[in-house]
Structure 1
Amino acid sequence: MTEMPSSGRAPLPLLDTDVLRTFVAIAESGSFTRAARQVFRTPSALSMQIKRLEETLGQTLFVREARQVRLTPEGELLLGYGRRLLRLNEEAVTQFLAPSLEGRVSLGTTDDVGSRILPGVLAQFARSHPAVQVDVVVGGSRDMLVRLEAGELDLVLSTGGMHDPSAHVETVHSEPLVWAGREGGVAAQRSPLPVALANHGCPWRKLALDALDRAGLSYRIAYTCEHCAGQQAAMLADLAVAPFPLALIRQPLRRLDGDILPALGDYQVALVRRDGLGGAGEALAERVVEAFRDLRG
């Protein structure tokens, strides 16, 4: 029998899941002491783990400062890999050891929020819990919360503040809301200012109108639409400017300079669970929270 030629290269080292969990805990908490409490070890034990990890990879992963630690560029790169590896490990273990979940979960979301995280969330959830059916409903936050209160939805990703007091509310994301318009467009120079807004009840609408009123600017609501795609269409046609999440602005749209229009501040996304949510719903909620954590990282 002919032997296969050896490449002569030593096998690459394997990353230990326990060490990766420690690394991610330190990166997310910004402190060896806080991370030690999370993983139930001493700070000195964590320091030894990170030292071995840095030796294995031949890279410095943290910059240690007086009151906190922060990631080096190499550490930031490893953080993304670490989160994915831990998630994949959890999926594999869940597939074999965790009780099999079955049933149906309904999730309501606005289009701007859902489009960013749902593809990855649904793909991962389908791999780890193939027997659970997930129904996704897209609409305005106010309508989604009414349906959750009526028992028609299990989870809602909401950008509004009207929450059923019996529901569990968790803020999962925050980002700047800014004014946007078409690159090279003239809508921002028109008077009164033409504005494209979502329907009543949308927090973007309230933030924008309050800011314009405080600044004493003359404006007219040129377009009102249910979804942010309608705002995009008005901006692309250079017919209006609109309040828009900074992360969603793409060419040929651009952020308008802060000295032209008043600042809008940040807006938050909340995950709202109905009271008595079952195991399948809690598992999906956990995936959603992880997806937003990865988005921030």
Structure 2
Amino acid sequence: MTHVASPHATALQASVSQGSVSQGVMPLLDSDVLRSFVAIAECGSFTRAARQVFRTPSALSMQIKRLEETLGQALFVREARQVRLTPEGEVLLGYGRRLLKLNEEAVTQFLAPSVSGRLGFGTTDDVGTRILPGVLAQFARSHPAVQVDVVVGSSREMLARLDAGELDLVLVTAGNPGQGVRGEVVHSEPLVWVGREGGVAAQRSPLPVALAHQGCAWRGMALEALNRAGLSFRIAYSCEHCAGQEAAMIADLAVSPFPQSLVRPPLRRIDPDLLPPLGEYQLTLVKRPGASQACETLVGHVMGAFQAHSTASGR
């Protein structure tokens, strides 16, 4: 059977051949650059892809520029809110996915996993959606035979389960009432007042607020700030998880203290002049004594994820 290549694939291959044969050396595609290219294609955004591969958007932009120069083709059409693949980019996406899969298979074949077992990782719900997908993907590549059990709950619960030997590593909020200083601070950011875009909750009196459960640092910081400012307020909603606070804000039933990095439409940060400042909140990473090599690797991935987050946000 005769295989007929598509016109776009033929054009891409011809461009690479003409540009490289003249120099007598065929260029090689870097797997790290291909991984960034595939991430951008799948996310439709340099910013979202940067978070996924733990690089800055500018670093990804430079990688793609060099890749386009190597292949002699434009791979993306850059629009106001998104990027999309050119026909040549669509061809490369198929090659890129296959090359990355082959690379992973080859490495796995020769570097058989020497570490196996289970690892318990606990985190609070505000952190899970922010870094876990990328962290777990990285860890799975380095320790494919280790089963990771992820538990989501309050900081107090996570620390109790760590002390009971049920978890190996926890990522928790620092400064909760009755919680001593433990672990290493891996992230710090402002806690800000948040409400619905165009909403009126922030203008009501007494001010309706949605707070986390008792014993949460966010709740303590909010109550202290409101009492210090002498503002009239009422606790309209008290929620076990930050998703409950978010629901109350989206419904324009209350305002809430929220990490700045989690504010996204239809929510917005309330004018700082209207409500008292809340200060910074911190996340700490606490590991069980005698942590395994696999646990130490996971620690490195978590810290790297937050460093990349801080770089991308300019903090």
Q: Deviations over 1:13-49 (max 9, x none)?
A: 888x9xxxxxxxxxxxxxxxxxxxxxxxxxxxxxxxx
1:132 matched to 2:146: yes
Residue aligning to 2:188: 174
The alignment partner of 2:138 has SS state of helix
Q: In structure 1, what residue type is equivalent to 2:19?
A: R
Residue aligning to 2:120: 106
Q: Deviations over 1:72-129 (max 9, x none)?
A: x966855999xxxxxxx9xx97985597111111011011111111111111211221
The alignment partner of 2:253 has SS state of coil
Q: In structure 1, what residue type is equivalent to 2:17?
A: S
1:283 matched to 2:283: no
The alignment partner of 1:9 has SS state of helix
Task: Specify every segment of 5 or more residues in structure 1 that has no aligned partner in the other structure, as ranges.
Answer: 18-72, 82-88
The alignment partner of 2:194 has SS state of strand
Residue aligning to 1:39: none
Q: 1:8 aligns with which of 18, 25, 35?
A: 18
Q: CA RMSD in A?
A: 3.3
Percent identity, aligned pairs only, is: 65
How many Å apart are 1:7 and its aligned residue? 2.9
Q: Deviations over 1:198-221 (max 9, x none)?
A: 001211111111111111111111
Residue aligning to 2:249: 235
Q: 1:210 aligns with which of 179, 201, 224?
A: 224
Residue aligning to 2:212: 198
| Of 102-111 and 156-165, the range deviating more from structure 2 | 156-165
How many Å apart are 1:160 and its aligned residue? 2.6
Provide closer, same or farther for how the CA distance between residues 237 and 7 of structure 1 changes in structure 2, counting only shifts above 3 A: same
Q: In structure 2, what residue type is equivalent to 1:233?
A: A
1:256 matched to 2:270: yes
Tell me how many residue pairs correspond in the alignment.
Answer: 232
The alignment partner of 1:200 has SS state of coil
C-alpha separation in 1, matches of 2:179 and 2:291 = 16
The alignment partner of 2:283 has SS state of strand
C-alpha separation in 2, matches of 1:245 and 1:212 = 17
The within-5 A match list for 1:1-297 is 7-10=17-20, 11-12=26-27, 96=110, 100-161=114-175, 169-297=183-311
TM-score by structure 2 length? 0.65
Q: In structure 2, what residue type is equivalent to 1:111?
A: D
C-alpha separation in 2, matches of 1:281 and 1:79 = 31
TM-score by structure 1 length? 0.69
C-alpha separation in 1, matches of 2:252 and 2:267 = 10
C-alpha separation in 2, matches of 1:296 and 1:75 = 14
8 A Cα contact 1:111 1:139, kept in partner = yes
C-alpha separation in 2, matches of 1:172 and 1:132 = 24
The alignment partner of 2:18 has SS state of coil
